[in-house]
Structure 1
Amino acid sequence: MSAAPRKKGVFARPLAEYVLKQVDPLVAKKGFGEASLLMQWREIVGARIADICAPERLQWPARGRKPSPDKAQEPATLILRVEPGFSLEIQHMAPAIIDRINAHLGWRCVSRVTFRQQALAQRAAQTRPKMAPADPAVRARAAEATEGVAEESLRAALVRLGERALTPRRSR
């Protein structure tokens, strides 16, 4: 048997190939050599840190007119925009942030971190989808399971939890 003939023609290319070509010059103006530090910030530093700070720019040291060939490129200073009230926490985490960034980039790109306290841009509110009103039978079953709870507010919270746990989820 012979292999099936290959189709000749134009194949779709990933959108990222086009986008990165347009984004790289824009991030270069902020001192970043590539867009991956900005686009993958959450994966690089973790969700907890990414929620309270974001990279603003890389500030490279000034070069002399004729750099000597034996002197290696000095690392940059990362300027982070930090939510007000969290600078001290980020300052304590700075060595770990620097290590994660340098590991991601594969070389000693960043040696210092400075901070600028400013609220991060408001992200789209992550709201939970509204649940349909509970079936009366499910509500009665949840209320029955919480009969022994004396505190009213706790019982109401447990009934709501029971309704959600007992309501079958719809598949998408």
Structure 2
Amino acid sequence: MSAAPRKGVFARPLVDYVLRELDPLVARQGFGEASLLLQWREIVGARVADICAPERLQWPARARKPAPDRPQEPATLVLRVEPGFGLEIQHMAPAIVDRVNAHLGWRCVVRVTLRQQALAPRAEKRRPPRPALADPASRARAEAATQGVAEESLRAALIRLGEQALKPRRIG
């Protein structure tokens, strides 16, 4: 007996909708898909991504009647580079080309062209909130409750948890 197909409306991941809308926009810049832009940091690493970003893929002009046995010519990746880092990125270009091609799964890019222009400022990482000052009475109750725990690291974690759970809350 086979299971009946499920009926109803199921939620789809937001990424399915976002990528569908982004792909036509990035196609105008020569990119076949948005993943190169969205995953740039993972592709080239944080250090390189902090000083350069992909701007477009420039494809060579196609012949009016392409030969059926000739594959598509590879593209040139245009990178926007922070001023002062052009020479460094120029030296890293072969590695960047290899990583981009590995990500895309084929020999899509053969060279890199640099355009020195400041990148848009990234949002700074938020600092974690500072822990609130512990209430001495809550700490004493948490320490008393964990008196029988032998493992020191577990006991310390339980005390921190107990402090937060037993801390008096202000209302209003």
* TM-score of the superposed pair, with normalisation by structure 2: 0.72
- Residue type of the partner of 1:118? Q
> What SS does the corresponding residue of 1:12 show, helix, strand or coil?
coil
- Residue type of the partner of 1:74? E
Identity %: 72
Taking structure 1 as reference, are residues 22 and 85 closer, same or farther at Cα in structure 2, changes over 3 Å only?
A: same
Shift of 1:8: 2.6
Shift of 1:126: 2.2
The match for 2:31 is 32
Shift of 1:9: 1.2
Taking structure 1 as reference, are residues 53 and 134 closer, same or farther at Cα in structure 2, changes over 3 Å only?
A: same
Aligned counterparts of 1:7 and 1:74: Cα–Cα separation in 2: 46
| Deviates further, 118-127 or 96-105 | 118-127
**Offset from partner CA, 1:12-53 (integer Å, 9 cap, x none):** 111111111111000000000000000110111111110100
* TM-score of the superposed pair, with normalisation by structure 1: 0.72
Aligned counterparts of 2:6 and 2:129: Cα–Cα separation in 1: 47
Given the alignment of the two structures, is residue 111 of structure 1 paired with residue 116 of structure 2, yes or no? Answer: no
Shift of 1:129: 3.7
> What SS does the corresponding residue of 1:116 show, helix, strand or coil?
strand
The count of aligned residue pairs is: 139
Aligned counterparts of 1:96 and 1:132: Cα–Cα separation in 2: 43
The match for 2:99 is 100
Shift of 1:128: 2.3
> What SS does the corresponding residue of 1:30 show, helix, strand or coil?
coil
TM superposition outliers: structure 1 runs of 4+ over 6 Å: 2-6, 168-171
> What SS does the corresponding residue of 1:120 show, helix, strand or coil?
coil
> What SS does the corresponding residue of 1:72 show, helix, strand or coil?
coil
The match for 1:49 is 48
Matches within 5 A, 1:136-147: none
The unaligned stretches of length 5 or more in structure 1 are 136-167
**Superposition CA RMSD, Å:** 2.4
Shift of 1:10: 1.2
> What SS does the corresponding residue of 1:99 show, helix, strand or coil?
helix
